[in-house]
Amino acid sequence: MRTEKTVTCYCVSYHVADDHPQAYGGAMGDGSFTARFRTERDAEDFARGKEYYGKPARVSRDEVPKRIAQRWGVA
């Protein structure tokens, strides 16, 4: 069995305001997006003041394969 190296990244799911140019963008078409960061501090700073479905945006810590983290620009 081949084991793949993983990378820790910090993700923030958030919504943009209804009057934002991307209000109907994002993967679901509802103005929700995911921002990914290498450090928890950067993610926390980004999440501050943002909302996701009416609640404060939160940071999640994820272990992802290195190839995925590279694609996201956080490897």
| Model pLDDT for residues 27-36, shown as the tens digit of each residue | 888 889 999 9
- The residues, any chain, with a CB within 8 Å of residue 52's CB and separated by 6 or more, are 13, 14, 15, 32, 58
What pTM, to 2 d.p., does this model score? 0.84
The verdict on residue 24 lying in a domain is yes
Would the pLDDT of 1 be above 60?
Answer: no
* Number of domains forming the structure of the chain: 1
The verdict on residue 61 lying in a domain is yes
The verdict on residue 1 lying in a domain is no
Phi, psi angles (nearest 5°) of residue 47? -70, -25
Q: How confident is the model at residue 23 (pLDDT cuts 50, 70, 90)?
A: confident
Query: Which residue range forms the structural domain that includes residue 26?
Result: 6-72
The verdict on residue 43 lying in a domain is yes
d(CA 71, CA 54): 30
The verdict on residue 25 lying in a domain is yes
